[in-house]
Structure 1
Amino acid sequence: MKAIATLAAILLGVVPMAGMAATRTVTLAVPGMTCPMCPVTIKKSLQKVAGVEDVSSDLARKTVTISYDDAKTQPAALIQATANAGYPSSVQH
């Protein structure tokens, strides 16, 4: 009976299903992004991270904005990817 109640709650949207992914967006500050090739290198590195859906850069502001599937990756992995490419970054608040 408990299983039926849980299923009904999920179907009615009262309880979110475990593992439901959501697209999230995070902006990373990348102070070392100083030339026109930097965003290209950073984008290629981020696109290798599973779950990354979109990457856009703003060279003037030295930021990268990433849309990602939160069931597949998290900001820590994105920060690690930029660092591995030679561009340490942090979440911009």
Structure 2
Amino acid sequence: MKKTIALFATAILMVFQVAMADGDKVVKIKTTAVCEMCKARIERTLGLSKGVKESNLDLKDKTVTVKYNPNKTSPEAIRETIINTGYDADDQTANMKAHDKLPSCCRKTAAPH
């Protein structure tokens, strides 16, 4: 049993090292998201973006963590995607047309809920 657990742990570490060895990078971006609908919208849009491997928005601190391939995209392109979805990205303001199309509960003036 101990050998099985040790082999399993070794396999997981090897997979993690391969994943990080392929050159993926991580960026954290502050947003103006307020609810689960915002989270789903941002993560879905980023998931469709070229070079983005995964994204996760933490609504408590309004930060989206994005793992991406630097050969296919950049932090600037990721911020631009968030901006064009209707949300602020770090110190850059959201695209107002996209922001105005968001449900009223997802706009900057909405209270967290």
TM over 0.5: yes
Give the 4+ runs in structure 1 shifted more than 3 A. none
1:28 partnered with 2:20: no
State the one-letter code of the partner of 1:70: P
**1:44 & 1:36 partners in 2: Cα distance?**
12
Greater per-residue strand proportion: 1
**2:49 & 2:77 partners in 1: Cα distance?**
8
Identity %: 31
Greater per-residue helix proportion: 2
**Partner deviation per Cα, 1:51-82 (whole Å, 9 max, x = no partner):** 10011110010010000000000000000100
Give the TM-score normalised by structure 1: 0.71
The residue number in structure 1 matching 2:90 is 90
**Pairing 1:2-41 to 2, within 5 Å after superposition:** 22-30=23-31, 32-41=32-41
The residue number in structure 1 matching 2:78 is 78
The alignment yields a C-alpha RMSD, in angstroms, of 1.4
- Which sections of structure 2, spanning at least 5 residues, go unmatched? 1-21, 92-113
